[in-house]
Chain A
Amino acid sequence: MNENRNVKIRVRNLSKVFGSHPKKALELRNQGLKRPEIFEKTGQTLGLSHIDFDVYEGELLVIMGLSGSGKSTLIRCLNRLIEPTEGEIVIDGEDIPQLDTRALLECRRRHFSMVFQNFALFPHRTVQQNAEFGLEIRGVPAEERGKTARHALKQVGLEGWEDAYPNQLSGGMQQRVGLARALANDASVLLMDEAFSALDPLIRGDMQQELLELQNRMQKTTVFITHDLDEALTIGDRIILLKDGEIVQIGTPEEILTRPADDYVRRFIEGVDKSRILTAEHAMRPLRATAREGEGPRTVLRRMREHNLDSIYVTGHDRRLLGLLEVDAAQKAAQQAQDTIREAMTQDFRRVTPEEPMHNLFAMFSAKGFPIAVVDDDQRLLGVVVKGAVLDELAQAAEAAPMADADNDTAAAGEQ
């Protein structure tokens, strides 16, 4: 997306060994041994090894892996619910592993809110009191935290349930309370540990959409753990793929789908990667508006505003595609009082036929994210493909063909 983003959390060389002699295990690891051999020799489990990544301000980063891949360990190392064995985790200049007990508590209060797979709501507290928990721990006065918590509950659609107890709510609603508890806390990073995995598929889809909406509104830095590739593709700005405690690939959903780092990732995305049969036609959407080459810049500008467009395709009388007009160029043309938009058009866009395989499309999206034009053999404009539509199609394909098989044998390989 945008290039110069601030790093919120910087993780370097993070490793975690479960067991009483972590040093020994790390030595063996440095000699190049892998998790199963280390376990055999020392009885120590190498949970995470050499983890390097950044979390950018405002992004939704998904950490994805199967059970045993170390994803839960990783998210818990961030706020030190699990003590990392070695490595750096720097948030706003503070190296978390170096903090003493007091500073750690302060850091957790200020920086981290967490949402849990099994909700982890306090059964003896009402919905409202649950939502207030983080603020109460920080010592926020009762009146203020009541207000903040009510606002958070409203955001997740639980207005009117303040006085209910968690056991009176459905699973989806309980997780909304969990989310409200995290939002009310207003920490700088939101950690979500398999937050939607315990919900049934329909509710889960709803929650994913709501999370995306919240994310659009609030731009909260979020680290989201999941074992579900589909979920990762739907919500993630970037995805980290984890296997046996090591990072296999970091990338945007498109990068993961189009350029899998190795066979493991390739197998993982096989269930999703129906893109090889899907073509541009599947993801094509009708045009909301087009311009004609003879039209004046002001007319076209008005149309673009009406339809909320940054760019508009320009056609001739026979609907033949002639070029693309960007909003900046159109404005300039209007200022210079040009008669038509013919001069302002650009050819800097991609055109494909409806038969183009979908997996080729990812690479064609430019940094500006112009829609790709779909034309027939006579260069007549049929429609456009936008980035989101490609992902949508792929996600739907994945749903139609669940990746149960791939899931099972990779999971078996992942266990010790």
Chain B
Amino acid sequence: MAIDFPRIPLGQWIEGGLDWLTSEYSVVTRGISRVTQTGIDGLNDALMWLPEWGLMAILAAICWRVANLRLAIGAVAGLAVIWNLGLWNPMIETLTLVVIATLVAVTIAIPVGITAALSERLYRGIMPVLDFMQTMPAFVYLIPAIPFFGIGSVSAIFATVIFSMPPAIRFTTLGIRQVPVELIEAADAYGATRRQKLLKVQLPMSLPTVMAGINQTIMLALSMVVIAAMIGADGLGSEVWRAIQRLRPGDGFEAGIAVVILAMLLDRLTQSLRKQRKS
């Protein structure tokens, strides 16, 4: 005998919950929205205010300082290509979103990661959440972002933070957990408090791993910021989006290549930061 189970109204529950959140906490979301928007505008204006060659020079100098001359030359060449293609302003907009989203994500992720590393219970609770955050198709985050923060960059940041945070948390937790037990024992034997252990042993020793996590977060943030063009985020993503709508593969690839250049630049830069720490 077949029993006809009613369909579970999962979607309705989620919507109901989101609606409730939106109406109950509109003050909060509006506040977040305003602050974030101010941050985005400020950073964007600052980067835009610099002449193209000025920003190129600054980035090249940073590359030279933390990595080598080769990366500096590569950075200048890559940015010159973007400038030449007329994608400078969208690139700056994308960079702004990535920087802000990464800052927010890392600010949340590192304390959470540390706590999860030190508390077995939180660790067990948080791992499925991280799996959920990472495997849920990225687009899905865009939908609730709109009722929370409206169409535009703030929603993009919200979705990006959620999508890009997990690796920073995971790597922080991993980094702290893989500090050899003998060293923890040594610190204990000399009477170190939990705080001293964390600051003098666990954090410094996990720094390379944490940096690897931040690198991953930046890469994920970049990919998400591009997708976020669908909910009205400015930048290279919206160039791609426009090219799709008008069926202009050439424009699409040009914007896509600009994303790749930006990605490579950010990746090499953070990686060499990590290696520098290690040696």
Contacts and interface: CB of A to CB of B under 8 A. Distances in A.
B186 A185 contact: no
A185 B190 contact: yes
A81 B180 CA distance: 15
A133 B204 CA distance: 14
Contacts of B192: 105, 137
A109 B192 CA distance: 8
Contacts of A123: 205
B182 A108 contact: no
B201 A122 contact: yes
B189 A81 contact: yes
Interface string B198-234: 0011001101000000000000000000000000000
Nearest to A118: B182
Contacts, number: 55
B185 A81 contact: yes
Contacts of A137: 187, 190-192, 196, 200
Interface in A92-116: 105-109, 112-114, 116
**Range of interface residues on chain A?**
20 to 34
A109 B190 contact: yes
Given A136-B200, A137-B196, A120 B191 contact: no
A134 B186 CA distance: 10
Contacts of A122: 183, 186, 201, 205
A15 interface: no
A137 B201 CA distance: 11
B185 A113 contact: no
Contact of A134 (B190, B201, B205): B190
B245 interface: no
B193 interface: yes
A188 interface: no
Contacts of B185: 81, 116, 120
A23 interface: no
Nearest to A119: B182
B204 A124 contact: yes
Contact of B189 (A106, A112, A136, A138): A112
B188 interface: yes
Given A81-B185, A114-B186, A120-B186, A106 B201 contact: no
A79 interface: yes
A114 B192 CA distance: 13
A324 B188 CA distance: 55
Interface string B166-189: 000000000000001011011111
Place the interface of chain B in its size category: 10 to 19
A108 B191 contact: yes
A113 B190 CA distance: 6
A124 B186 contact: no
Nearest to A101: B193
Give the one of B185, B189, B192 with max A CB within 10 A: B189
A293 B43 CA distance: 102
B278 to A, nearest CB: 10
Contacts of B205: 122-124
A105 B191 contact: yes
Nearest to A110: B191
Contacts of A109: 190-191
Contacts of A105: 191-193
Given A122-B183, A136-B200, A137-B196, A114 B189 contact: yes
Given A122-B201, A124-B205, A138 B182 contact: no
Contacts of A114: 186, 189-190
B72 to A, nearest CB: 28
Interface in B139-188: 180, 182-183, 185-188
A81 B188 CA distance: 7
Contacts of A108: 188-191
A395 to B, nearest CB: 30
Given A122-B205, A124-B204, A124-B205, A138 B186 contact: no
Given A113-B190, A134-B190, A185-B190, A120 B183 contact: yes
Given A122-B201, A122-B205, A133 B189 contact: no
B182 to A, nearest CB: 4
Nearest to A107: B191
Interface in A118-148: 118, 120, 122-124, 133-134, 136-138
A32 to B, nearest CB: 34
Tell which of B180, B186, B192, B201 has the most Cβ of chain A within 10 Å. B186
A106 B191 contact: yes
Contacts of B180: 120
A114 B185 CA distance: 10
A123 B178 CA distance: 14
Interface in A54-102: 79, 81
Interface string A180-202: 00000100000100000000000
Contacts of B193: 105
A116 B204 contact: no
A112 B182 CA distance: 16
Nearest to A123: B205
Contacts of B200: 133, 136-137
A251 B268 CA distance: 64
A122 B206 CA distance: 12
A116 B189 CA distance: 10
23 contacts: A81-B185, A81-B188, A108-B189, A108-B191, A109-B190, A112-B189, A112-B191, A116-B182, A116-B186, A120-B183, A120-B185, A122-B201, A122-B205, A123-B205, A124-B204, A124-B205, A133-B186, A133-B190, A134-B190, A137-B190, A137-B200, A138-B191, A191-B189
**Which 8 A-B residue pairs are closest in the complex by CB-CB distance?**
A109-B191, A108-B191, A120-B186, A114-B189, A120-B182, A134-B190, A105-B191, A124-B204
Given A122-B205, A124-B204, A136-B200, 5 more contacts: A108-B191, A113-B189, A113-B190, A116-B182, A134-B191
